[in-house]
Structure 1
Amino acid sequence: MSFQKILQPLIKDVEGAIGIIFVDRDGEAIDHYSKIPDDDIKLLGAYKSIIIKNIQETSDRLELGSIREIVIFLDEAVLILSPVAEGYFLLLFMQPQSNLGKGIMRLKDVIKKVREEL
């Protein structure tokens, strides 16, 4: 199943949005849409599993609950990781000067649509 029709509008509608990837718990790409090379966005998706695993293990140990969203600010990018369903995540890759609020709101819309397709 292709999720292109769901993922693509976010990248086109949010200024500074670079790519979005839908991945499973192991970081394997299910689908993506990106302005950067496929291998680069897939690499980001693959490494997200390490980040999520470490944060969730710490959260479990401290009894803080499940991950609702992870935002990572880098010098040259912003990464937003959001759970879609058990074992599935969306990763949005944006430029640092992007409208973060708009990116998060549109990401929530995409999550709803992806859930409907699962």
Structure 2
Amino acid sequence: MPFKAILQDWVSRVPGALGAIIVDWEGEAVDQVGRLNTYDLKVIGAHKGLILDQLRKAVQRTAGNELLEISISTSKYQTLIVPVDADYCLVMTLEHGEMIGRALFEARRCLEKVRHEIG
């Protein structure tokens, strides 16, 4: 199953989802879908990928643990960042006030499919 189809399925299962993207460890877009324009999704993905990288390093240094997910809420949006592996992460942006828990539940299902594709 191509990444675009996997992301589209994830977005369709989350009320208020504005878009989702797979980014690599440098913040480069692999694929994306959503109601936001492609440029905005790529910028969101790049910045959130960098945030993940920095927080992952901090967690490993201080606690020796693995970072599982990050949720960022602003007055306008909510963003979920979920590592796929050491090289990739999933990022979803939702309207503020939507169910981030549902997005996380569906992200875990999406992760299985993405990991299978990466192989």
**Range into which the TM-score falls when normalised by the shorter chain:** over 0.9
Greater Cα offset, 85-94 or 62-71: 62-71
Residues of 2 paired with 1:7 and 1:78: CA distance? Answer: 17
Please show how residues 1-118 of structure 1 align to structure 2 within 5 Å.
2-118=2-118
Residues of 2 paired with 1:65 and 1:6: CA distance? Answer: 28
Q: Which amino acid aligns with 2:48?
A: K
> How much is the aligned-residue C-alpha RMSD, in angstroms?
1.4
Q: TM-score, normalised by structure 2?
A: 0.91
Greater Cα offset, 30-39 or 61-70: 61-70
**Pairwise CA distance, 1:74:** 0.8
Residues of 2 paired with 1:89 and 1:76: CA distance? Answer: 22
User: Which portions of structure 1, spanning 4 or more consecutive aligned residues, are displaced by more than 6 angstroms?
Assistant: none
Residues of 2 paired with 1:56 and 1:101: CA distance? Answer: 21
Gap runs ≥5 in structure 1: none
Residues of 1 paired with 2:65 and 2:51: CA distance? Answer: 16
**Pairwise CA distance, 1:58:** 1.9
* % identity of equivalent residues: 30
Deviations along 1:27-48, one digit per CA (max 9) or x if unpaired, are 1000111101100000011112
Gap runs ≥5 in structure 2: none
Aligned length, in residue pairs: 118
Residues of 2 paired with 1:7 and 1:107: CA distance? Answer: 9
Deviations along 1:74-95, one digit per CA (max 9) or x if unpaired, are 1111111001122110001111
